[in-house]
Amino acid sequence: MLQWIFTNLDVALSAISQNKLRSLLTALGIIFGVAAVITMLSIGNGAKQEILDQLELIGTNNIVIEAIKPSLQDDVDASEEETSSSSKDKKSYTPGLGLNDIMSIADVLPGVKQMSYEVEKSIKVIYNKTNTSGTCRGVNNDFFAINNLELAEGSFFNPMQTEKGVNVCVIGSDMAKILFLGKSPLGQYIKANGVGLKIIGVLEKRVISKEHQERLSVSPFAKDLFVPIETFFLRYEDRSYVSQEDISRRERDKKVSNYHQLDRAIVKIDDINKIETSASLVERLLLRRHNDQVDFKVSVPELLVKQQQSTQETLNLVLAIIAGISLLVGGIGIMNIMLSSVLERIKEIGVRRSLGAKRKDIILQFLFEAVLISLAGGVIGIILGILGAEIIGQYADINAIVSGISVFVSFAISFAVGLVFGILPAQKAANLDPITAIRN
C-alpha cells in the first residue's frame, strides 16, 4: 500500500519538477489567498486582543458617573433680562455630584458589587530638595480594585485611615522614581501643597498607550498621589461646603466655580445583563436629586467597547470573505491548469495505462499534483502573510498578532483546496481510453 502511494507521489513530483514555471503560476492564486487569510486573521486577532486590553483597563460591568464642570459665564449683570426672576426660574438649584448621591445609589440600585468615588486637584509635591508636580486624588479603597491597580510595595488604606481622614498616601510609580531615585518610599513623609503625608504604598507601573488614554479616558496614574477621600476634604478642599469667602470671590470674579463635591464615581454591578437598565436607573435617580439639571454624565464604557468589538467582528468577517474568494479563485485556477495539463498529457496517460497503471493510479497521480501545488502555494502564502502582518503592524500602527491556529487553518485550507479542485481533472484523466490516448 505504502509502496503504491510513494510510487504515484514520485510520478507527481516528477511532473511538477518538469513544469516548474507552470506549477508556480498555478499556485499564485493559493499563495495570495493564503497570504490574505493569514494577514486578515492576524489583524482580527490584534483587534480582539486590543479590545480585551481595553476591557481590562476600564474594568467590566462598570457604570461611570462624571461631574460636568460648569463653564465660565459672562458678566451676570450684562442685561436686565438675564437677572430677572423669570430667567432664574429656568435653572433650578442643583447640589452637584456628591457623596450623598453615591449613598443613594447604593440604597436603591440592586446588585451593586463595588463603588468607587474620587475628587482630584493639581498639586506640587516636595521631598527634601526634590519636587515634582502631579495630581492628588481623594479616593476610597474600591477605587484601586475597580481600576485594576496593583501595589509594587506597601498597602492600601485601612478602614480607620479612610474614616478618620489620616494623613497617609499611596503614590504612583513615576512619582516614586522622581522623588526617591530608586530608594523605597515606604514610611517617608512628603509635602503635597504644604500638607505632610506619610507614604504607605507605591503603585505597580502600568503601561497604557496614548490611544487608549484618549479613547477610554483612562490614566496610568504614574504621577498621581492618592489620599483617603476624607483626608482630601479635610486637608485640601470640600466643594460642597460654601463659605462667605467663596460667595465674595464668585461675586468679584463673576464666574461659576466648580460646585461638585466629587469629580467621578464608578458603580460596579454583578450582572452584565442588567447594566443598561441599571445605568438608566442611576441617571433617573440623579436627575431627581439634581432637580432635573443635567450636570453629570452617565456612561457604560464596556458597552461602548463591545459595540466597537461588534463592528470589528463585522469588518473581520468581510475581510475573511474577501480572502476566501481569493482562495476560491486560486482553487479554480488549479482546476483549470490541471484540466489543461490532462489534455497536454493524454499520450503520457495512455502509456502509463498500457504499462499496467490502473484508473486509481492516474487519479492518485493527478490528485497528488494538485495537492502538492496547493500545499506549496500555502507554505509560500503563510510566509508572505506573516511578513505582511508584520509590515502592516509597523507602518499602519495596527496591532497584528499571528497565531498558530491561523497558520494551521491556512495550511489545512490550502490542502483542502488542492484536494477538492483536483478531483475533476484526476477523474477526467483516469477516464481516458488507453488506446485512444496512445493514438493521440
Strands 62-67 and 189-192, sheet pairing: unpaired
The mean of the pLDDT values for the chain is: 79
For helices 359-395 and 346-354, the axis angle rounded to 10 degrees is 130
Domain layout of the chain by residue ranges: 2-53+307-439, 62-300
Give the sign of the dihedral formed by CA 215, CA 218, CA 221, CA 225.
positive
Exposed e or buried b per residue across 166-182, where buried means at least 16 C-beta atoms within 10 angstroms of its C-beta:
bbbbbbbbbbbbbbbee
Encode pLDDT of 131-143 as tens digits: 999 999 999 999 9
Residue 149: CB atoms within 10 Å: 19
Encode pLDDT of 332-373 as tens digits: 877 877 777 776 777 777 777 777 777 777 778 778 888 888
Encode pLDDT of 29-85 as tens digits: 888 888 888 887 787 777 767 666 666 666 668 888 999 987 643 343 333 444 444
> Can you give the pLDDT at residue 88?
43
Half-sphere exposure of 231 (CA within 13 A, CB side): 26
DSSP 226: E
Q: What does the DSSP assignment read for 268-292?
A: EES-GGGHHHHHHHHHHHHHHHTTT
Torsion of CA 69, 72, 77, 83, to 10 degrees: -30
> Can you give the pLDDT at residue 283?
93
Whole-angstrom Cα distance, residue 63 to residue 43?
A: 30
Global pTM reads 0.61
CA angle 214, 220, 225 (to 5 degrees): 125
Element housing 65 (H / E):
strand 62-67
In percent, how much of the chain has pLDDT > 70?
78
> Can you give the pLDDT at residue 417?
82
Nearest alpha carbon to residue 388 among 48, 31, 24: 31
| 391-414 mean pLDDT | 79
